[in-house]
Amino acid sequence: MIKGKNYTFFVASTPGNLRKLVVPAYALVGVASLAIVGMLTIVIGVGSYSRMLWKVGNYNAMRHELETVKQHSRDLQTTVNDTNQRLNSLQSLATEVAMTYGVLRYHPVAFDVTDNPVTPEDAFDQSVEQYTFLKKNAAAIAISAGGLRLLPSFSFADSSYTPSVWPVLGHVTDSFGERLDPFSGEGAFHTGVDVASDYGAPVHATADGVVTVVENHAGYGRLVVVDHGFGITTWYAHLSAFATIAGSRVKRGQVIGYTGISGRSTGPHVHYEVRMNNAPINPSRYMKSSPSGD
| Better-predicted residue by pLDDT, 159 or 189 | 189
What total of structural domains would you count in the chain?
A: 2
**Taking all residues of the chain, what is their mean pLDDT, rounded to a whole number?**
76
Higher-confidence residue of 241 and 11: namely: 241
Cα 206 from Cα 250, distance rounded (Å): 10
Together in a domain, 3 and 77: yes
Average pLDDT of span 22-46: 83
Q: How many residues does the chain have?
A: 294
Cα separation, 270 vs 285, whole angstroms = 17
Q: What span, in angstroms and rounded, lies between the C-alpha atoms of 250 and 230?
A: 16
| CA–CA gap between residue 71 and residue 88 (Å, rounded) | 25
Residue 155 lies in a domain: no
16 compared with 112, residue with greater pLDDT: 16
Indicate which CATH number applies to the domain containing 223. 2.70.70.10
The mean pLDDT value for 5-33 works out to 73
- Which of these three, 62, 84, 101, is where a domain ends? 101
Q: Is 22:7 a contact under the CB 8 Å cutoff?
A: yes
Of 81, 101, 121, the position where a domain reaches its end is 101
Distance from C-alpha of 167 to C-alpha of 271, rounded to nearest angstrom: 9
Of 158, 171, 257, 243, the C-alpha closest to 208 is: 158
pLDDT of residue 233: 93
Residue 98, pLDDT > 60, answer no
Give me the pLDDT at residue 241, please.
96
Q: Judge if pTM exceeds 0.85.
A: no
- Domain extent at residue 164: 160-285
Residue 148 has pLDDT above 50, yes or no: no
Question: Residue range 209-219: average pLDDT?
Answer: 93
pLDDT of residue 69: 86
